[in-house]
């Protein structure tokens, strides 16, 4: 059994849940802080330093305070970054010489969710083995089996606030940025962690800014805005006659762009543009990446290697092959020669820099990169049934029928969301009619199989009714 399959708390992107409900409670956050501090003490043989940042959710201060208390109680010094994009926390772990970082964020999820993510000293997510060790410590503490001695007096950790005017992360971003020379840029900050920092960076590189969704109130993060709802920015770009738009998710580790014609520039476009301009020999993408992107890159001698959906798997494949560029259609793109984690602001800056270097505007690139019609349908299911439904005979046959009909000019993918109780059905084909027909065929088979489970008396069939589906940017 792999560490991933054996774990109770950590998923593909940290720990997530509804804030206030297990495991996303103050008590759990306190315990995680303590387990992290003990883990680091044992690794280092001395006092660790940990940075912590959060997004703008109402539950963020509560959970950040609890993690901080757990860390300090177990002897770790804590630097509180306040509201900070996830990639900013990653950068500051390294810039400040800390031994770990903690992010309190649920990224693109609704505001009532929250999450906890732990970075190592290199600014990257902890390895599977380290996350498994944290889980073992959490379980031991909950069972009263922890052998750790209490810390008192000078052995307790110190807590201090980061002085944002020191600007380590901003300086890093400006060092990667082109001068935009009055380019009219729209920014959708998703009422999230980038609401102050992104406008500051783009203003300093000469953009004429039109900023929307940059007034967080603790509840409006990702609400009808940001990278999961790019239609808001598309409308603004067209209405205001902007040259380009950039939209982030709640923790700003991903970005999508909009060209001046209002067309969405996905992570697939970003990979294609940057791979060509950087002269890459190969890139890593996921099974969601558009077939048009793969063929466009192949025509230019660039191999596209596919992995399972999730930036964790993209990162693993990049490191294993010694490659630098990879990412997801959702706009989570990795430039490993620049940063160890996805960074939405950095991604946007590097795309605009590539366009400047090419002498061609963004819309010219969008014209050139083909996009096959593709749809993503979400079918809500009970969490415990996700894998079983994928393997159900009727669902497998529906997928096989679609693959036979589409042949080399299309693809079908059914996968379980790593963060929500959903099965995601992706269908890609040469025509929109084929996409619509086969996506409904496969989604219908899943709904039917879900109904059969409920009729058979499966107690999990009632808490996730079938048929609740909607288009979505993949998680």
Catalytic positions: 107
Locate the DSSP E strands across 287-416: 303-307, 325-327, 333-335, 374-380, 411-416
Element (H, E) at 347: helix 344-358
d(CA 85, CA 157): 25
Nearest to 352, CA basis, from 173, 227, 230: 173
CA angle 405, 406, 411 (to 5 degrees): 135
Nearest to 409, CA basis, from 435, 390, 441: 435
CA angle 224, 226, 231 (to 5 degrees): 65
d(CA 408, CA 176): 39
d(CA 14, CA 27): 17
Residues 95 and 72: beta-carbon distance below 8 Å: no
Q: DSSP characters for 176-209?
A: HPPP-TT-EEEEE-TTSTTTTHHHHHHHHTT-EE
d(CA 261, CA 248): 19
d(CA 144, CA 30): 15
Sheet holding 411-416, edge to edge: 374-380, 422-428, 411-416
d(CA 18, CA 11): 15
């Amino acid at each position: 059994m792999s560490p991933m399959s054996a774990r109770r708390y950590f998923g593909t992107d940290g720990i997530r849940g509804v804030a206030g409900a297990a495991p996303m409670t103050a008590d759990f956050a306190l315990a995680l802080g303590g387990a992290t501090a003990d883990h680091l003490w044992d690794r280092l043989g001395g006092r660790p330093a940990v940075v912590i940042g959060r997004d703008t959710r109402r539950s963020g201060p509560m959970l950040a305070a609890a993690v901080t208390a757990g860390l300090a109680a177990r002897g770790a010094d804590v630097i509180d970054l306040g509201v900070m994009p996830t990639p900013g926390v990653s950068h500051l772990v390294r810039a400040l010489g800390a031994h770990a970082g903690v992010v309190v964020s649920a990224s693109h999820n609704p505001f009532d969710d929250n999450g906890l993510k732990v970075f190592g000293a290199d600014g990257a997510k902890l390895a599977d083995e380290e996350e498994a060790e944290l889980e073992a410590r959490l379980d031991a503490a909950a069972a009263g089996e922890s052998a750790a001695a209490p810390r008192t007096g000078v052995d307790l950790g110190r807590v201090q606030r980061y002085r944002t005017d020191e600007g380590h992360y901003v300086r890093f971003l400006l060092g990667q940025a082109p001068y935009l020379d009055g380019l009219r840029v729209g920014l959708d900050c998703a009422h999230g962690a980038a609401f102050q920092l992104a406008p500051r960076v783009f203003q300093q590189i000469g953009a004429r800014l039109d900023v929307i969704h940059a007034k967080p109130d603790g509840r409006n993060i990702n609400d009808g805005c940001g990278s999961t709802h790019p239609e808001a920015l598309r409308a603004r770009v067209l209405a205001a006659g902007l040259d380009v738009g950039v939209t982030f998710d709640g923790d700003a580790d991903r970005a999508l762009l909009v060209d001046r014609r209002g067309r969405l520039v996905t992570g697939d476009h970003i990979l294609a543009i940057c791979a060509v301009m950087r002269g890459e020999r190969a890139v890593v993408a996921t099974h969601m990446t558009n077939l048009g992107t793969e063929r466009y890159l192949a025509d230019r001698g660039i191999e596209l290697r596919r992995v399972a959906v999730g930036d964790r798997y993209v990162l693993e494949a990049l490191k294993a092959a010694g490659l630098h560029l990879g990412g997801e259609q959702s706009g989570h793109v990795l430039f490993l020669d620049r940063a160890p984690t996805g960074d939405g602001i950095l991604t946007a800056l590097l795309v605009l820099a590539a366009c400047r270097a090419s002498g061609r505007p963004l819309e010219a690139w969008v014209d050139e990169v083909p996009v096959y019609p593709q749809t993503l349908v979400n079918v809500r299911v009970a969490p415990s049934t996700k894998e079983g439904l994928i393997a159900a005979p009727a669902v497998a046959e529906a997928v096989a029928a679609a693959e036979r009909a589409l042949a080399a000019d299309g693809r079908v993918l059914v996968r379980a969301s790593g963060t929500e109780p959903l099965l995601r059905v992706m269908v890609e084909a040469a025509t929109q009619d084929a996409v619509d027909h086969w996506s409904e065929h496969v989604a219908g088979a899943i709904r039917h199989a879900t109904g059969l489970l409920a009729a058979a008396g499966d107690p999990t069939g009632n808490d996730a009714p079938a048929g609740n589906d909607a288009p979505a940017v993949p998680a």
